[in-house]
Amino acid sequence: MTLGGTHVLVTGSTSGIGESIAEHFLREGADVVVTGRDEARGKSVAKRLGSAASGRCVFIAADLATAEGPGALAAAAESRLGGIDILVNNAGSYKIDGTPISAADFDEMMHLNVRGVHLLTTALVPGMAERGSGVVVNITSPVAYRGYPGMAAYAGTKAALDMLTKCWAAEYGRSGIRVMALSPGPVITPGVEEAVGTGVNVPQEVLTRTGLVVGRVATGLDISSAVVFLARTDAAYIHGTTFHVDGGMNGVGSLWGADKDAPPE
């Protein structure tokens, strides 16, 4: 699959990792749907990304944590661009400042990170199956594969997403649809800055907490390059598995707090 003329939907693409992924697909000539809840921010991001691209960039507002949001987004995306060839389920919420969390925060993560992905994917897959090809990339997290303190609920949502990936790969593979998960290492995004808090050097704090052996956090380009690769026909035999683009977090394990006596509060 060359990417010129393909139709891509990247959720959570008005910020952070999703924005980098949308920008990368546009650079490759694809038509891209940018989406998020905040309409003003979304329109401005889509205008900026679209102005430098040969492909079309359209913004569609959607709240994917609601029961109706994912289906409405799928319908609007198909009507604006035509069938979606590549779906990147990137939007996610992370409440990671301790294991006890409110029921509302738990529900928000489950609704966005799991139910929203399920509803959106199952709404778009029939069109892919009809055309005989498609790619779904689910953005998970290193916390889905190893135990980290203070992240139980978030990690649970991403582990669920990893399992959705495998089941969908089994179910949809024969329709020509490849389904993969991609686990990014830490990228300093607006969401991470908010989660880590003010008054600290965020990249340094993230490096210390994760003990990344590569000695640096990831860039948006580190992650978007891998997503775009997975979407290409070069990756035609990659299916039903997880790409760990995480600076070694999964392979090496956690050096969490290696230079401290205890993990950070």
Minimum distance from residue 104 beta carbon to ligand NAP (Å): 13
Residue 85, C-beta contacts closer than 8 angstroms, at least 6 positions apart: 1, 6, 7, 8, 128, 131, 133, 134, 135
Residue 157, C-beta contacts closer than 8 angstroms, at least 6 positions apart: 92, 109, 110, 113, 114
Q: x/- string (CB under 6 A) for ligand NAP, residues 15-44? A: xxxx-----------------xxx--x---
Q: Which of the ranges 48-56, 61-69, 224-232, 257-265 carries the binding residues for ligand NAP, by CB under 6 A?
A: 61-69
Q: x/- string (CB under 6 A) for ligand NAP, residues 180-219? A: ----x-xx-xxxx---------------------------
Pick between residue 1 and residue 46 the one whose CB is nearest to ligand NAP. 46
Q: Does 65 contact ligand NAP by CB under 6 A?
A: yes
Is residue 154 annotated as a catalytic residue, yes or no?
Answer: yes
> What's the one-letter identity of residue 67?
A
Minimum distance from residue 31 beta carbon to ligand NAP (Å): 19
Q: Does 94 contact ligand NAP by CB under 6 A?
A: yes
Q: Which of 21, 24, 57, 90 binds ligand NAP (CB under 6 A)?
A: 90
Q: Are strands 242-245 and 31-36 parallel, antiparallel or unpaired?
A: unpaired
Q: x/- string (CB under 6 A) for ligand NAP, residues 120-139? A: -------------------x
Report how far residue 185's alpha carbon sits from residue 64's, in angstroms, rounded to the nearest whole number. Answer: 24
At residue 137, the 3 state secondary structure works out as strand
CA proximity to 263, closest of 211, 228, 225: 211
Q: Does 91 contact ligand NAP by CB under 6 A?
A: yes
Residue 107, C-beta contacts closer than 8 angstroms, at least 6 positions apart: none
Q: Does 247 contact ligand NAP by CB under 6 A?
A: no
Whole-angstrom CA distances from 174 to 122, 134, 170, 204, 229 are 16, 11, 8, 45, 21
Residue of 94, 154, 172, 237 marked catalytic: 154
Residue 110 CB: number of other CB atoms within 10 A? 17
Interface residues toward ligand NAP, by CB under 6 A: 12-18, 36-38, 41, 62-65, 90-94, 112, 139, 141, 184, 186-187, 189-192
Residues annotated catalytic, as ranges = 154
